[in-house]
Chain A
């Protein structure tokens, strides 16, 4: 059997408050759904291991506060992400409109190589739909992203969405990984590697405190 090695990625869930970021995460990692909405005030994360092409990919998924007043703070977390979910609520036209703003923030604050995916959540709430699937498809195309409509409630497309983004991140970093693969047989912590780089261009280095490796 070929030697397995681990890769650690950091993925970030972004989108307006109430679009269901925390629910997506809970469904994906614990296969649970809690319908009541408790705003995430802060930044939470969970771990999940996926097997992609025989590579054990550990992903650390960060769930951020969606409320506007926290955005100046949450932006600092973008820098450390390799992949970003831009999430809106198909029953909220407003949350869809805001994707533009989220995307431009990502362009500004996230690393250039960051992979993005567009997610329209709450696809089970057909009666309340305000954003047509085609609108999502169109926007995703305009941004050159993949697009999924998901439902944390019915578990529709959840694993697919997370796996797809993880695959994209893996593909985007494949070159680096292959180089490392030759020499390293321990866990390859891509997130940590980039963390180090990050620290170099941030002389303060305070971010080190708030990182999780």
Chain B
């Protein structure tokens, strides 16, 4: 908050300081990140002091520029979002750097998020009937101007609901969105494809062995059932009380006791040891009848110490989770804090175990699983709850009367459960056996030591879950190795089984719905027109058509005209689409101008018929479809952009020439004369018409070649030249003069061909050399050159009226007659002018 003060000082009295929250909300990978902007008038102490001013989604139309990234200075960034711009000043420092890098990250990652988020919001919104509208930020780019402002208002308002909806989303892992959607839906519809059957017998046993080695067979304990159980979950406590076991968690007892268990399992079935886990002296083994092994999956084991310092393994729990058919089952063996007065400590241990013991999931993107998330929880162990408020004699008397019911009322665990202080939701069967603690080792005699402990039901078995019935719950007095007696219970548990047919059907239904949503969310537009025809396209005459694109999809979309294979640009050079890429909000539309303009660089191929007014544009939507847009049209050939050589072979106006002739003329080499016997013209008749017109009408025209003509008049002159052989040309002198310049400029091969350009430069200082070069020109080019030079010299004779001089004319015409095949630099330009000046002075002629 101190940063706000610093910024505040730089502001005028009326100005508000805007703090940019450094927490960039990335609530869900599929939503845009957003910047929350808060305002406050004074030092913000409580939440009432700040108000949420605006939320800027870092969406596709978000942009930001870092203005002044100088060390030690405030960082100024300019944020633009839709039509709005915002300048933020951030204090120099790591906070700001962090913020910027977060924004950057969110910004660069934003486009990838487009395709699926809509689906996401739909799913999330379905079960929640609240008024808030999660997908507002996503659609907020819809519409323009005022409406966007309104929606932003909604955004701000909706933000107050965020805590609740954040929790919903945060629970979702980042990746495998589709998988998760399917998983969630499957879970929700579990009833449709699972049925409860297969009641299975779970044998549970717990035994605090007081650090002893197995000295006697465990058969009386583990073989107490008539039929072989389906599963064995056997837990031990105080397996080893040595320092080595405590500090190094290493003990030979593990193997010894496991062996003892294995040997004592029911002989009428074969069992597989699925998992074993031990934390110091707390050990849990899990056996399954062979025939069920294939239905056991996702087995994980974890442990949590709650002993010394709340961490060590002298107390705590071990747990094994697994999936049996479609039920998730968790077995916990715990050894809770000792001593009669420590029952609250035991309650705390239970809570710690529940919160700290977490299983990692097979899918690393899934959140860790806690004990309470399981369908069935079986909890065994030396829970260490004692009998209180009764002295030892009373206890022993009740025991001798087998009045366990009365005694049970003094049991701490019972009392704590009744108070809902521990084991909430757990069930324990009726205790019909005498306390299992504390005996003199090797006997059935109560503790005769000095401490003379009050007997207690330390060793217990509880469960939580539906469809569980207890078959027996008993202690086993025959075993005398320890100061505890082992306890066992047989639980008949209903297991959810999957009906694979129904599962498949449910799965397919879910997938179908997701597919459907996904297909609906593929960006889509409608085009008002997909074929465009441009009639009578002429040289230098602009034509345009409007392509309207309407976003009829369910998501905003990004469009772009893309290249076709083997083409460098998305369209022919005489065509442009404006804009050629952009963004359309949902239900929004964009008008694209398709413009045809034939200039000197494209005219030549169109004149000769090598190119046509024909093209197909590919309009691509990001993450979506491609649309083809056809362009067609006819081009009216023009003398502008046609070679001197071709024009010399045309006695008729170019538009009266058959297209084949035009094509053939181009193929002809400049030196070769057409197969047709007719002698070519000395110079193009169009050139003659323009020059002659000027000679007759404009020889004294002031500022001739210096003033621009009129566009419309140029069009008339062009049409005139291309369609007929008139006696005079329309338009003003200036327009005709400009037409002449345009004509020279548009020649595909300049009057001085590219091949001779270099030679011209080299001989520019020598008049006779220059003449020599000109004599090397193809005949028709030479004629044009000489004809033009002669005309210009005539003009110069009238320089008093037309105010021309050699310099001006050389500058204008050299650049048209002598063109460089590459880019021309200034010195070259000077040389071309020097070259041409020789032909403008009378001397040589």
Contact = CB atoms under 8 A, between A and B. Distances in A.
A171 interface: no
A144 interface: no
Contacts of A204: 563
Contact of A51 (B179, B504, B519, B562): B504
B627 A42 contact: yes
A76 B565 contact: yes
A46 B564 contact: no
Interface stretch (A65-73, A116-124, A127-135): A65-73
B616 A210 contact: no
A196 interface: no
Contacts of B623: 212
Interface string B493-516: 000000000001001100110111
Interface in A159-213: 185-187, 204, 206, 209-210, 212
A6 B178 contact: yes
Nearest to A50: B511
Contacts of B512: 49
Contact of B514 (A29, A49, A186, A187): A49
Nearest to B521: A47
B563 A206 contact: yes
Given A3-B362, A41-B530, A29 B630 contact: no
Most A C-beta atoms less than 10 A away, residue of B508, B618, B627, B628 = B628
Contacts of B630: 41, 69
Interface in B614-636: 616, 618-620, 623-630
Contacts of A185: 363-364
Interface in A15-70: 29-30, 41-49, 51, 56, 65, 69-70
Contacts of B563: 204, 206
Interface in B562-583: 562-565
A42 B618 CA distance: 8
Given A51-B504, A185-B363, A186-B176, A212 B624 contact: yes
A187 B530 CA distance: 37
Contacts of A43: 625-626
B295 to A, nearest CB: 10
A106 B65 CA distance: 47
Contacts of A187: 176, 178-179
A130 B630 CA distance: 32
Contacts of B522: 45-47
B616 A49 contact: no
B175 interface: yes
A209 B620 contact: yes
B519 A46 contact: yes
Interface string B171-195: 0000110110000000000000000
A30 to B, nearest CB: 7
Contacts of B719: none
A1 interface: yes
B618 A210 contact: yes
A209 B560 contact: yes
Nearest to A46: B519
A166 to B, nearest CB: 14
B518 interface: yes
Contact of B508 (A30, A51, A70, A210): A51
A69 B616 CA distance: 9
A73 B522 CA distance: 22
B515 A65 contact: no
Contacts of A42: 618-619, 625-628
Contacts of B626: 42-43, 210
A65 B176 CA distance: 33
A204 B563 CA distance: 10
Given A42-B626, A76-B565, A70 B518 contact: no
Given A46-B522, A70-B628, A209 B562 contact: yes
Contact of B620 (A3, A4, A30, A210): A210
A73 B618 contact: yes
Contacts of B364: 185
By Cβ-Cβ distance, the 9 closest A-B pairs, closest first, are A42-B627, A43-B626, A49-B511, A76-B565, A42-B628, A44-B625, A42-B626, A41-B628, A46-B519
Given A49-B512, A73-B618, 8 more contacts: A29-B519, A42-B628, A43-B626, A46-B519, A65-B628, A187-B176, A187-B179, A209-B560
Interface of A: 1, 3-4, 6, 29-30, 41-49, 51, 56, 65, 69-70, 72-73, 75-76, 185-187, 204, 206, 209-210, 212
13 contacts: A3-B362, A41-B530, A42-B626, A45-B522, A46-B519, A47-B518, A47-B519, A47-B522, A69-B630, A70-B616, A73-B564, A73-B616, A206-B562
